[in-house]
Amino acid sequence: MVSPSTCNEWELPPELCCRPMPFVALMGLDMIYNAVHRAIWEAFSANRRTDRVPQCVVNVLPWSFLQRTSYEWYIPKGILKVGWMHKHLNVIPAVAVVFFELDWDEPQWRERQSECSTRVEIVRQSLQGRGTKVAVVLIQKKAPLPPGEDLVASERAATLCTACELSAKALFVLPHTDHLVGYIIRLENAFYELSQGYYHAEARKVKSHKELLNRTTHQLLFVRHQFKIGFFCELKQDTQTALKHYKNAYSHVHELRAYDTNVLEIKTFAGFINYKICRLCFQHNLPLDAISNFRKHVDLCKTKSGSSELAFEHAAWMAKQLFGDLFDEAIKLGLTAIQTQHPGFYYQQAAYRAQDRKKMALQLCKPLASVAYPLPDPLETPNGKLDYFGQRPWRQGHQSIDPPDPAREREGILALQWHEKAVDHSGLIIPLLSSAVAQFKKYKCPRMKNYLSKSQSSMGNYISTMLFNYVLCEYRVERWWVILTSILSTALKCAFLMAQVQDYITISMELLGRTSTLDDERKSVIQKNLMKVLMNTCPDPEPACDEAAIEVAKNLWKEPGSVKSNNVITVEMQNYVPFVECKAAFLQESFSVDSPVKFQLLLRASCPFPQRYSHLSVTFNNQAYNAHCMVSGSCDSPCSTEPPTEGELCLLVGKVQRHDFSFVAQTSDTGKAIEVRAGKSAICIIKMFMCIQQKKISDHNNSSIFFRNTFYSPMPRLALRVEHDPPALSFELFRLRVCTQSREEQPVSDVQLTISLQPGQDANLSQTTHVTLDSNVQCDDSFPSFLHNIPLGNLQPGDQVEKDVFVKTTLVGSRIFLISVAYTVTAMVGDEEHHLSCRCQQVRTSQNGRAIFVTQVSFVSLSQFEPMTRIYSDDPFLLQTNILSLSPWPITIARGCFQLQPPMASPDGDPASQLKQDEIGSDCCCLQCPPVPDGQSGIAMGTYTIFWKRFFACGSSVLFDEKCLLCSSVLVFTEMPAFGRVREVLPVRFQLHNRTAFVQEVEATVTASDAFMFSGNKLVRLRILPGCEQELLYNLYPLMLGFQALPQLLLRLLHFPGATNEALHRLLPTHIFVKVKMF
Amino acid sequence: MAVCVAVITKENYPLYISNIPAANELKFHYTVHTSLDVVEEKLSAVGKTASDLRELYLGLLYPTEDYKVYGYVANTKVKFVIVIDSSNTSFRDNEIRSMFRKLHTAYTDVMCNPFYTPGDPIRSKTFDNVISSMMMQVC
Amino acid sequence: MEREGVRMADEALFEFLHMEVISYIFKSLEKDDSDNGKCTAKLEGMGFRVGQGLVERFTRDIPRFKDELDIMKFVCKDFWAGIFKKQVDNLRTNHQGVYVLQDNRFRLLTQISAGKQYMEHAPKFLAFTCGLVRGALSNLGVNSIVTAEVSLLPACKFQVMMQRA
């Protein structure tokens, strides 16, 4: 419970922080021996979900409550008694419920009734006149009858109420049946109502005292009463009214006159009320009110710091206002916070206060070492606890301006300081900071988070510098050098105090770098220290370190394990800006294999003193070159600050040092890139050779700056020329003549030619491009699209060789070929003889595949030579091809050839080509299609192939379109002379064929024509059996000369109405030429 | 008046930070650096919300106990931050706005100076004078 | 469109300066046997720095840009008008980071006689402007590659390709 340490620990009492709930005491339940009672209790206490009324249910076994203390408060001694809230939350119930097993038909009713009334009486007595409501619950075994029916029950209930002095509303029946939980919930609601009545009455009781108060002596009581009313309202679950009263209480607190002796009490209590107010504001979803209240609270209390000897108390109090927690809790319950207003700020604020507290505590408690803890302990109280919140244990209840006993006061302060000294401040600050960090991370403030993480990791002096690394990296990336330097300085201090050699060296090197904002004086101290470390001695202590800590650190540095065990220290520098900067460059973009590679290394130091080094090396991706780029020098006094002597490797301040290297590349690297390794091997290594008396430093400076590619191949000395006759035609064998001439001064051997499509073109090109060396073969799809390493033999200087390569393309489009020649030549580089195999000489030839022909295919009806969109089975038609040559050169067409797809057939047998050499030609053949099974609408026709040649025989094919095939039901053939003569009989015979499997009824009409007279049936109905034919004969008698329209035969198929004329009439001649009569 | 004025590049490193008193340099660096969080958040909201912020002046970034931090981002993503003492309550938004305008103009002049390499820390007497006039105005 | 006579003297100055810079740079490098590429790169670099500075000034009083297209519109309108006294005639984009700015009468080419005769000299008159655009965009936070193309003097097209990181 409440202990005297509360005032030191600054924790808010738990009874303040919890949510007040009506307190209901249940009595008379035997939990150990009675299963029914246990079930009732569990139904009350278990599963308290939010939908049930808030209630704090306690099972009380003893039949009594705490003795009420006397209530003399006319001379107020403080604002609020320490135990008050606890008393009303946990001790004095709002409702005391007596459980009693009693059925209405109990045979010994009278005895049991008096037993029950006795119990109620005991409870009443123990409550000693408090307004606590008393209720009785009868546990019954039988289910109750509907109200009003059980006359015995209502009568006995009335007598029981009288016996127990209960109102009828306070008597309940709990039948122990299946629906226990349902009954319990109803009981609960009834208790809740009773409790509300109780708390309402209590609040009124407090309010009624108000008239008795006066402003001069009872100021404390104004606060106390308002707080109490608020608290009762809260117990009553009326938070709106509670908030109102708390706010009143708060304004009363600040009306109190504050002086050193009571300021703590005022502040403590103001903090309590503020906590309540903020909490309720959040609960009412008024976060802005809560925030502004808190701000106001902090502003009001900021100045009330109290006695200067206990200044840390004020900071501690400020740090403990818990607003961050409240805010965070509200967010967890659904409040949304924003980037500029979230709990992180309040945690941060609290953390700062806690830091202030630490600082003040360090300052104020320092002289304590010489003073003993005062005895008797002023913090001890007679009963071990305080009477009022926020009072001094040694002068409780004292409300005057001056402390009653100055000596006692001093002792008390001393005791508090003693206690403060023992507090682990960092342990308080770090959790606050980590809460803040978490919040800032959540609300997208990476930099703020970073900043706080930094504060967090710099809390203790002895935290490993590794903790800094993450934070440092962020600042380094964003190039905030001032901040970086400050953190690094702190880190250096840590590294010194902990004697961490590796960290110490790394940090020093970065602090000496160009980006550090330290002044030269500080830099020279750091460099000297760095040299000391390399000389294996203890560096000078960093400024502003604790004396004692320095002594500890010095011993640590002397320990053998710190430096001696590892005499090579490797420092990864790629993330830092080191004090030796390095730049490397190849002097040319690319080098020929037969000339030396030139490489340059530039070094610059930014430290205040000359820096010596013993060794310099470069790492290449091909390690063979590493040996060429090394420098070592004598290094006798590696750590001197004097200018260097002859032969020493030393970097002078502000001067750029240049190293030139040159080496001959290996032939195997031809065409490859060499690079200077960056990344992992970019290391700055400091080697300390412990075996020798003097230590050598070697700077391996392969900084990560450079990453230059060198591409080298000897200059090609072989001329390559491609002769061809563009554009190429598709399907033809196109000749590429490759002429290779050697311009080398030496004979070249092993010349090989490679031709392939240039990568990066359409991938399908390789399927439609074929390459061959032989013009006599039929180059079909099986040939590849490339040829590798065609041997061309050896070449003497000046020799020339020609090679023909044939390319065939089957798809129109341009292609780019890569033609290259590889050869081997012996060359001299320097004094060495290199066998260079050179693969070079890339010539690109763009080849245009071009279409040679435009072949148009048309279908024409046999009778009228009109283009047809569809063909009819068994109905002969003409297929005509028109060929237009697009070739820029004359080409010879050997023949054209129809390749018909079955069932396509020509009525005349195999169609022979009639096409001979011509620029534009057309080919024509008559075709007929037999009937095909139903349901097939389209029919493939076949292809037309033209065999032609420019130089080499070729053939290209055209695929005909699919055509729509229709079945004709009745076919009509007309038989008539080619021409007529005026006034001479012209017999016209129509033959009607029935192609269907049904009997067809045909109605044939012939229209009249002015140009003809005719004999024959004008309207006739015919019946044609399946597969049979009928003949209609008309004798025409032309009356006019010239091209005349014939009388039109109209057919109507009675079984297929409407579907005839167009199909039939395409076969009928419409006109005839009428000549003059022969005489 | 202003206790700290800062110019920060679009890559978020400082080109110029001036503050009074000079001893508090580190603290102001931290203040300005952390304020970039809010600046970035506000910038990322541009174009996303209906009521997007098309003005270059971003307004109050965040108040701390001692300072008010204001932000302004040019179209070229150069960020300007002005820190004002919290106790100085007489300031109106318009005055801050005009201070930023002045600052922006001065920065533009620096950018248009052919002897200045973009991205380098600003070392210009003219610019210094403009800044110090902003810091001196009231104090 | 403006007529020659109406132009202010200071506008002419820019053209003269531009021409002088070009001829100076090309002459100074003629002695070395270096190629034209170096000269155009130099001009482009000069344009880049100028663009950086100009855009700082031109964007000082306009509201914040919404997106990339907003920036390109600014380049075509305010920026172009500020330097060349006319807006770009046509802006096209594929919405994937490629923009084509077409100026039908590009100011720095108007002094060259129209037609094909001097076509080969056109690129050196465009390098500075390419840099100008690239510098402006770079300062606005957009990295790009800017190339120019002339098909018929004095019309020209600038192609801007955004480089996304």
Helix (H, G, I), strand (E, B) or coil at C124: helix
Looking at residue A901, its pLDDT comes to 64
Looking at residue A591, its pLDDT comes to 65
Looking at residue C72, its pLDDT comes to 92
**Tokens representing A960?**
């005909």
Please answer yes or no on whether C56 and B108 come within 8 Å at the CB atom. Answer: yes
pLDDT band at A589 (very low <50, low <70, confident <90, very high): low
pTM for the full model? 0.61
How many angstroms separate the CA atoms of A584 and A656, rounded?
12
Looking at residue C3, its pLDDT comes to 46
Q: Is residue B82 within 8 angstroms of chain A, CB to CB? A: no
Between C128 and A215, the more confident residue is C128
The H or E element containing residue B97 is helix B93-111
- Identify the CA nearest to A117 among candidates A150, A77, A84, A166: A166
pLDDT of A933 above 60: no
User: Which CATH number does A718-850 carry?
Assistant: 2.60.40.10
How many angstroms separate the CA atoms of A142 and A153, rounded?
12
Domains A19-209 and A572-713 share a fold: no
Tens-place pLDDT, residues A875-898: 667 777 776 666 666 666 666 666
pLDDT band at B137 (very low <50, low <70, confident <90, very high): low
Strand partners of residue A827: A834
pLDDT of A7 above 70: no
Looking at residue A844, its pLDDT comes to 54
In Å, how far is B1's CA from the nearest CA of chain A?
23
Q: Are A290 and A281 in contact (CB under 8 A)?
A: yes
In Å, how far is B9's CA from the nearest CA of chain C?
10
- Print the SS3 string covering A737-795: EEEEEECCCCCEEEEEEEEEECCCCCHHHHHCEEEECCCCCCCCCCCCCCEEEEEEEEE
Tens-place pLDDT, residues A502-554: 778 888 888 888 888 888 888 888 888 887 877 777 788 877 777 777 887 78
pLDDT band at B68 (very low <50, low <70, confident <90, very high): confident
Between A1058 and A760, the more confident residue is A760
How many angstroms separate the CA atoms of A932 and A968, rounded?
12
Q: Given 3-state DSSP classes, what are the helix, strand and coil percentages for chain C, each rounded to the nearest 5?
A: 55, 15, 30
How many angstroms separate the CA atoms of A371 and A374, rounded?
8
**CA of A775: how far to CAs of A71, A771, A791, A816, in Å?**
126, 10, 18, 21
Question: How many CB pairs below 8 A link A and B?
Answer: 45
Topology of the domain comprising A572-713: Immunoglobulin-like (2.60.40)
In Å, how far is B131's CA from the nearest CA of chain A?
20
How many angstroms separate the CA atoms of C76 and C103, rounded?
9
- Which residues of chain A lie closer than 8 angstroms to B17, CB-CB? 482
Instruction: Please report the DSSP string for A61-122 in residue order.
Output: -SS--PPPPP---SS---SSBTTHHHIIIIIS-SEEEEEEE--TT-TTHHHHHHHHHHHHHH
- Which residues of chain A lie closer than 8 angstroms to B7, CB-CB? none
Please answer yes or no on whether A480 and B41 come within 8 Å at the CB atom. Answer: no
Where along chain A do its domains lie? 19-209, 257-453, 462-566, 572-713, 718-850, 853-966, 970-1075
Mean pLDDT of chain A, nearest integer? 72
Tens-place pLDDT, residues A807-824: 777 777 777 777 777 777
How many angstroms separate the CA atoms of A772 and A735, rounded?
10
Please answer yes or no on whether B111 and C53 come within 8 Å at the CB atom. Answer: yes
pLDDT of A697 above 70: no
User: Could you tell me where the DSSP H helices lie in A395-460?
Assistant: 406-421, 425-442, 446-457
Pairing between strand A1019-1024 and A832-850? unpaired
User: Could you tell me where the DSSP H helices lie in A366-519?
Assistant: 406-421, 425-442, 446-457, 466-478, 481-498, 501-511
Phi, psi of A570 (to 5 degrees): -105, 130
Torsion B52-B54-B59-B60 (CA) sign = positive
**CA of A324: how far to CAs of A442, A838, C10, C109, C152, in Å?**
14, 74, 64, 67, 70
Tens-place pLDDT, residues A287-319: 888 888 888 888 888 777 777 777 777 778 777
Between A721 and C74, the more confident residue is C74
In Å, how far is B116's CA from the nearest CA of chain C?
10
Section A829-849 average pLDDT: 52
Q: Are A923 and A914 in contact (CB under 8 A)?
A: yes
Please answer yes or no on whether B14 and A448 come within 8 Å at the CB atom. Answer: no
pLDDT of A709 above 50: no
Chains C/A: 3 or more C-beta pairs closer than 8 A? Answer: no
Pairing between strand A597-605 and A630-632? unpaired
Question: How many CB pairs below 8 A link B and C?
Answer: 54
Give the residue on C whose Cα is nearest the Cα of B73.
Answer: C64
Please answer yes or no on whether A339 and B36 come within 8 Å at the CB atom. Answer: no
Query: What is the gyration radius of the CA atoms in chain B, in angstroms?
Result: 14
Looking at residue A472, its pLDDT comes to 77
Percentage with pLDDT > 90 across chain A = 0
Q: Is residue B20 within 8 angstroms of chain C, CB to CB? A: no
Please answer yes or no on whether A478 and B38 come within 8 Å at the CB atom. Answer: no
Q: Are A666 and A622 in contact (CB under 8 A)?
A: yes
- Which residues of chain C lie closer than 8 angstroms to B77, CB-CB? 140-141
Q: Are A946 and A921 in contact (CB under 8 A)?
A: no
Where along chain C do its domains lie? 4-162
In Å, how far is A809's CA from the nearest CA of chain B?
54
Q: In what order do the strands lie in the sheet with B57-63?
A: B14-19, B2-8, B79-85, B67-73, B57-63
Tens-place pLDDT, residues A450-492: 777 666 666 554 455 555 677 777 788 888 888 888 888 888 8
Give the residue on B whose Cα is nearest the Cα of A448.
Answer: B34
Core vs surface per residue A357-381: b (16+ CB within 10 A) or e: bbebbeebbeeeeeeeebeeebbeb
Of A77-86, A197-206, A699-708, A906-915, where does mean pLDDT reach its minimum? A699-708
pLDDT of C137 above 90: yes
Bond into A403 cis (ω within 30): no
Looking at residue B139, its pLDDT comes to 42
Which residue from C49, C52, C140 is facing B75, i.e. has the nearest CB?
Answer: C140
**CA of A648: how far to CAs of A626, A629, A635, A1011, in Å?**
22, 17, 6, 127
Looking at residue B47, its pLDDT comes to 63
- Which residues of chain B lie closer than 8 angstroms to A451, CB-CB? 30, 33-34
State the Cα torsion B28-B34-B35-B36 to the nearest 10°.
Answer: 120
Section A1001-1030 average pLDDT: 80
Q: Is residue B66 within 8 angstroms of chain A, CB to CB? A: no
Looking at residue A573, its pLDDT comes to 65
pLDDT band at A71 (very low <50, low <70, confident <90, very high): very low
Tens-place pLDDT, residues B82-103: 998 877 777 778 888 999 999 9
Which residue from B26, B29, B37 is facing A445, i.e. has the nearest CB?
Answer: B37
**Tokens representing A979?**
């021409």
Looking at residue A816, its pLDDT comes to 76
Looking at residue A848, its pLDDT comes to 57
For chain B, domains (ranges, CATH) are 2-136 (3.30.450.70)
Section A1033-1050 average pLDDT: 82
Instruction: Please report the DSSP string for A586-651 in residue order.
Output: ESSS---TTS-EEEEEEEEE-SSS-EE-SEEE--BSSGGGGGGSEEE-B-SSTT--SPP-TTB-EE
Of A339-353, B40-54, C10-24, where does mean pLDDT reach its minimum? B40-54
- Which residues of chain A lie closer than 8 angstroms to B38, CB-CB? 339-340, 445
Domain A853-966: top CATH class: mainly beta
pLDDT band at A621 (very low <50, low <70, confident <90, very high): low
Tens-place pLDDT, residues A226-284: 888 888 888 888 888 888 888 888 888 888 777 777 788 888 888 888 888 888 888 88
Looking at residue A70, its pLDDT comes to 39
Q: How buried is A791 (Cβ within 10 angstroms: 0-12 exposed, 13-18 middle, 19+ buried)?
A: exposed
Between A617 and A685, the more confident residue is A617
Topology of the domain comprising A19-209: Rossmann fold (3.40.50)
Please answer yes or no on whether C60 and B55 come within 8 Å at the CB atom. Answer: no
The arrangement of secondary structure in A970-1075, i.e. its CATH architecture, is: Sandwich (2.60)
Bond into C154 cis (ω within 30): yes
pLDDT of B33 above 80: yes
Residue of C60, C69, C72 to mutate when probing chain B, most B C-beta within 10 A: C60
How many angstroms separate the CA atoms of B77 and B42, rounded?
12
Tens-place pLDDT, residues A1042-1053: 888 888 777 777
- Which residues of chain B lie closer than 8 angstroms to C140, CB-CB? 75-77
pLDDT band at A148 (very low <50, low <70, confident <90, very high): low
CATH 3.90.1150.10 fits C4-162, yes or no: no
Between B3 and A677, the more confident residue is B3
First to last CA, chain A: 149
Looking at residue A500, its pLDDT comes to 78
Strand partners of residue A686: A569
Between A910 and A438, the more confident residue is A438
Give the residue on C whose Cα is nearest the Cα of B75.
Answer: C64
Q: Are A297 and A274 in contact (CB under 8 A)?
A: yes
**Tokens representing A41?**
């209790």
Of A630-644, A790-804, A1006-1020, where does mean pLDDT reach its minimum? A630-644
Give the residue on C whose Cα is nearest the Cα of B110.
Answer: C53
pLDDT of A702 above 50: no
Query: What is the gyration radius of the CA atoms in chain C, in angstroms?
Result: 16
Bond into B21 cis (ω within 30): yes
